[in-house]
Structure 1
Amino acid sequence: MILQDSKIKRMVENKELIISPFEIECLNSAGYDLRSSMDLLVYPKEQKLISTLERIELPPNIAGFLHLRSSLIREGLLAGLALVDPGFKGQLTISLFNASHNVIKISQGEPFLQITFIQLQDKAEKPYSGKYQNSKGVTKSLRHIKS
């Protein structure tokens, strides 16, 4: 089940779902707009990493799907997005690629990503506890680092 705005707001108020800082203006009918933690210029045919301003903490019965804002897609920006596992805590790092011939600017505090929250039927038996738990700022790949 996809969580609607009133359920997201209630879960944040009850501290069942952490979005920090939470701004009511970023809440929409079926998700929440995540903002950039930095000013970023992405030049044509360039890939860069960006992190969200918000720290999120998902309970063991909620997963998140990420979507790049459609206005940025229309400008030629592509994103490498992944499922946000139940139990994840931290800021999110996203890979962006500029497929256009123009420089694309994202300003600090600008919404660039939406997260849609999905309620699982039951709590995950193995909530996320991987290498990116408690990420702060842009976090480069840790795939070659042993846990």
Structure 2
Amino acid sequence: MILSDRDIETLIRAGELGIEPLDDEVIRENGLDLRLGSTYCEFRSTGTVLDPRSPGDPGEFYDCRDAGEGGSFIIAPHRHYLLHTAEYIRLPPYVAGLVNLRSTWARTGIYIPSTVVDAGFEGQLTIEVIGSEFPVKLYVGDRFLHLVLVKMETPSTRPYSGRYRGQKGVRLPQFFGEMQAKT
């Protein structure tokens, strides 16, 4: 069952669902519109092989920057980026999330791969974004992602407790260890 705005507000009031900071604009008719955080990492073009068993220096593969509060950055055509949400979310063990671009951004040709937020996840979301046919400027703080919350029939017996739990900012792949994006 997809949660409505009323379901979401009820879970927030009960302390079951956490969203920080919480702005009235975030809660939508069938999910949450999450805003763009300030850190972003562009995938570097390199001939170096990324070996997950011996990944080396993440700076070899990612160019990470901070646009600052109220800042902006450009998504170049056909380039890949890691971005994060401004909101820190906390899902109960019986709610999972499906991440989509807001339709306005999808209409610019920007793309994100299918992304599921596991029941019990807590943290800011790190999301991959792929550039369009033309450059697109993004602004920190703009509503960018739509998170559809889905109530599971029964709570998970193993809610998410992995390495990305509690993440803030852009979190690089787990084989780099606990490394956050360095800006």
TM-score, length-scaled by structure 1: 0.93
Q: Of 160, 165, 180, which residue of structure 2 is paired with 1:128?
A: 160
Other-structure match for 2:49: none
AA aligned to 1:30 is N
How much has 1:70 moved relative to structure 2? 1.2
Q: Distance in 1 between matches of 2:138 and 2:13?
A: 29
Aligned to 1:106, what secondary structure does the other structure show?
strand
Q: What's the CA shift for 1:143?
A: 4.1
Identity %: 34
Q: Which residue of 2 aligns with 1:10?
A: 10
* Aligned partner letter, 1:36: L
Given that 1:34 and 1:112 are in contact with CA atoms closer than 8 Å, whether structure 2 keeps it comes out as yes
Among 94, 111, 130, which residue is 1:61 paired with?
A: 94
- The aligned residue for residue 52 of structure 2 is none
Residue identity opposite 2:142 in structure 1: E
For the residues of structure 2 that align with 1:40 and 1:81, how far apart are their CA atoms? 23
Q: Aligned residue for 2:142?
A: 110
Structure showing greater Rg: 2
Task: Name the TM-score, length of structure 2 as normaliser.
Answer: 0.75
Shift of 1:78: 0.5
| 1:78 match | 111
Cα distance per residue 1:127-146 (max 9 Å; x no partner): 00111111110111114659
Alignment deviations for residues 41-99 of structure 1 (CA, whole Å, 9 cap, x no partner): 11112111110000001010100111111111111101123210111010000110113
Q: Which runs of 5+ in 2 are unaligned?
A: 39-71, 179-183
Is residue 84 of structure 2 the alignment partner of residue 51 of structure 1? yes
- The answer as to whether partners of 1:81 and 1:94 remain within 8 angstroms in 2 is no
Check if 1:90 corresponds to 2:123.
Answer: yes
Q: How many residues align?
A: 145
| Matched letter for residue 19 of structure 1 | I
- 4+ aligned runs moved over 2 Å, structure 1: 143-146
Asked if 2 retains the 8 angstrom alpha-carbon contact of 1:65 and 1:83, the reply is: yes
Check the 8 A contact 2:76/2:132 in 1, yes or no: no
Corresponding residue for residue 29 of structure 1: 29
What secondary structure sits across from 2:6 in the alignment?
Answer: helix
What is the CA RMSD across the aligned residues, in angstroms? 1.4
For 1:20, the equivalent position in structure 2 comes to 20
Say yes or no: does 1:137 pair with 2:169.
yes
Unaligned runs of 5+ in 1: none
